[in-house]
Amino acid sequence: MPILNTILELIGETPVVRINHLDTGPCELFIKLESQNPGGSIKDRIGLKMIEDAEAAGRIRPGSTLVEGTAGNTGLGLALVAAQKGYRLILVIPDKMSREKISNLKAMGAEVVLTRSDVAKGHPDYYQDLAKRLASEMDDAYFINQFGNPANPRAHEEVTGPEIWRQMDGDLDAIVLGVGSSGTVTGLSRYFAQHAPELELVLADPEGSILAEYINEGTLSTKSSSWLVEGIGEDFLPTISDFTRVSKAYAISDAESFKVGRELLTREGILGGSSTGTLLAAALKYCREQTEPRRVLTFCCDTGNRYLSKMYNDFWMRDQGFLEVTSH
């Protein structure tokens, strides 16, 4: 491998691995290790794209402050890029996020503002609304707004989609993915509409999110409930979202997400985060429902190193009721 000029050149070109030891029915299941990005998640891709697009458009300049509301991984991607380019970064984060993520963000130089995770969009303490307000109150500050920034889906339309299609040698029947900001689903929808219109997109959604009901029943609920899986699921439709090519959705419980995520480590040796468990659980359901062989891809969205105090901690799992207490 050649010597690279900067850590940012390592973003993308993540490997795809076959699932060998889990029941995938008649299907072949593959997982793309976005955890191998230098910042540890798929969000490195959009962090780079959104900052570089803002630079090209003249919205930011040396000395500008970047502000964003994030569940953690977008913040880590932004922190990686901002540190290399010399920008100050302020991140507003819901207080349910793992302490590993928060510590990681601070270690990378980001300024972290914690806010409530029990309030919905429109509340002044909702993390996106608070971030937008903070940016508006500062001089030379730019609100990145991943949920409404067209550079977000473009990163996946222009880079991730072609990368997947090339790695799979143009032989892929379905992709199972999650939605947070909706950049991945929107960008991949656009790419595959042009290059593989028969490819099926399937949503993995945490129970409590409004998106599975919206996809399966066409009903947009105004009420969501809470979930513990981090980084995916929503209580609103992001302005950049395009779900027109998503054929079906699976609502996955926290308990199943954490269980399957832990199985991915013990059976396949892949240390993924909580949302990876959600995606894999949905992908396994989809594969087992098929009557014909299909080639299916899903994502290891981020590294499980950020969840060692949660889903990989037996004491936390028992406290949440996800593991039975064994008596001796």
The strand order across the sheet containing 200-206 reads 16-18, 28-33, 295-300, 174-177, 200-206, 246-252
Q: Which of 32, 43, 101, 310 is catalytic?
A: 43
Q: Token pair of 295, please? A: 């080639």
CA dihedral 52, 53, 58, 61 (to 10 degrees): -20
- Sign of the Cα torsion 226, 316, 250, 195 reads positive
Whole-Å CA distances, 210 to 101, 215, 226, 278, 285? 25, 9, 11, 15, 20
- Residue 261 CA to residue 281 CA, distance in Å, equals 8
54: helix, strand or coil: helix
Q: How would you classify the pairing of strands 88-94 and 111-115?
A: parallel
Clarify whether 85 is annotated catalytic: no
Based on the number of CB atoms within 10 Å of its own CB, is 198 exposed (0-12), middle (13-18) or buried (19 or more)?
exposed
Q: Return the SS3 of 174.
A: strand
Pairing state between β 16-18 and 88-94: unpaired
Q: What are phi and psi of 248, to 5 degrees?
A: -160, 165
Residues designated as active site: 43
